[in-house]
Amino acid sequence: QTAHGGYGPGGGLQVIDQPGTEPQVVLLHGFPDDSGIYDRLIPHLAPHRAIAFDITFDGRLSAGRK
């Protein structure tokens, strides 16, 4: 599992990517959660690729996920 992130003028983006096979599973959460709600789910999605996004609009990524 890898994590990638960055900041832009309007906020930040972090991507959690678990490698695997097609079809991939994209995980999107709602406010006020972050991708941490999928930490226990992602291992169970193997062997499929799982991608979870954290998008912020104030320039801060989720606490503890840098």
* Two tokens, residue 47: 């062997």
Other C-beta atoms lying within 10 Å of the C-beta of residue 14 = 20
In tens, the pLDDT along 9-58 reads: 777 888 999 999 999 999 998 878 888 899 999 999 999 999 999 887 65
**Beta pairing partners, 12:** 7, 56
pLDDT, position 44? 95
pLDDT tier at 65, thresholds 50, 70, 90: very low
pLDDT, position 5? 83
pTM score, whole prediction: 0.71
pLDDT, position 40? 94
* Residues contacting residue 27 through CB under 8 Å, at least 6 positions apart: 35, 38, 41, 42, 50, 51, 52, 53
- Pairing mode, strands 48-56 and 21-27: parallel
